[in-house]
Every structure is written in C-alpha cells, then in structure tokens.
Amino acid sequence: MNLDWLKSGIAPLDNLISFLHKQSQTADVLKKQLLMELRNNLNIFKNAFLNKANPDTVIDLLSNEAIQDAVKNNFAFKKLKAGSIEPYHVFDERNKKYIGWNAEKLMDKIDEKIVELKNLKKMNNGTVNNLKNNVPLMISNLYFRMKLMADFIKSDFK
C-alpha cells in the first residue's frame, strides 16, 4: 500500500502516540480504552508506512471496539476533550471540514469508517483489492481523522 501521504507526518505522529500513552494513565476505564485504541490505531498506520504493509493487513489490525463499548456504556465523549474543533486544531487542509465538530461526532465518524472498511473487505472475499471504492483514499481519510482527534485532545497540553 502506498502510504507516501504519511511520510511528512512521522515525527509529529510519534509525539502524538507518546502523548496518548501518557494520557491513557487514568482511572476512567472507558477513557483509557479509547485513548489506547486511538494510540494503537495510529501506531498501526506508522508501522504500515515503515513496513509497506498491504491495506488488508492494516484493516484487519484497526480496532473500534473501545468506541463501540463507550457508546454502549453511554460514555460522555467530552471527557476526551470538551468543546469543538477550532481552526487552530487543524494541521491538515483536508480536515478543515471538521471545524465545529465535537469529540463524539468525530469519534463516530472514525468508527463508521473502520466498520465500512472491514465490511468492504468481508464483501470481497477477505480483500480490498480490485474494489471500485477508492480504498487508499478511505484509509488516508481515516488516518487524518484519527490524527485530528489526537491533535484535538492534545491541544490544551502543549
């Protein structure tokens, strides 16, 4: 899979992953699980880039269980970050459309994309190869949403 779009973001990504690890040291179990899942998913993208992993493997490794558990348990996503995404949270042009969104809405969109990618893979005999969908774009959009979520959470801790 061509992850060249990730090349410029490896150093900031390492910082975000480290930050999420520190923030996951909390007594709030659901918050901890969400932060760990976001951290782990970002790590998957980083390692997929470094090792040129194929999209099927990336999709298999991505997790959204913590998001779905949080929804089932009526978790208040504002515990991750209160307020809404402002222009100063957005470091990537493609994420400007999320200005005004809150943590819950963005996490819902992240969950939706992970489910969609996993379902596309299941519908095509366990692979996303040869699909009419633009899977590389879908995967990169998912990555940039996750990165925005991490940047948003981190914004008060600089």
Structure tokens at 51: 């090792």
- The answer to whether residue 11 scores a pLDDT higher than 80 is no
**End-to-end CA distance of the chain, in Å?**
33
Query: In sequence order, what are the residues at sequence separation of 6 or more whose Cβ sits closer than 8 angstroms to the Cβ of residue 136?
Result: 1, 2, 55
At residue 158, the pLDDT reads: 45
At residue 59, the pLDDT reads: 97
Query: In sequence order, what are the residues at sequence separation of 6 or more whose Cβ sits closer than 8 angstroms to the Cβ of residue 106?
Result: 85, 98, 145, 148, 149, 152
87-135 per-position pLDDT tens digit: 999 998 999 999 999 999 999 999 999 999 999 999 999 999 999 999 9
CA distance 30 to 70: 6
CA distance 131 to 127: 9
Q: What is the pLDDT confidence band of residue 26, given thresholds at 50, 70 and 90?
A: confident
Per the structure, the count of domains in the chain is 1
Q: Tell me the whole-structure pTM to 2 decimals.
A: 0.89
75-85 per-position pLDDT tens digit: 999 999 999 99
Q: What is the pLDDT confidence band of residue 49, given thresholds at 50, 70 and 90?
A: confident
CA distance 20 to 38: 8
Range of the domain at 136: 4-157
Query: In sequence order, what are the residues at sequence separation of 6 or more whose Cβ sits closer than 8 angstroms to the Cβ of residue 10?
Result: 46, 49, 50
- Shortest CA distance to 156 belongs to which of 49, 61, 95, 80? 80
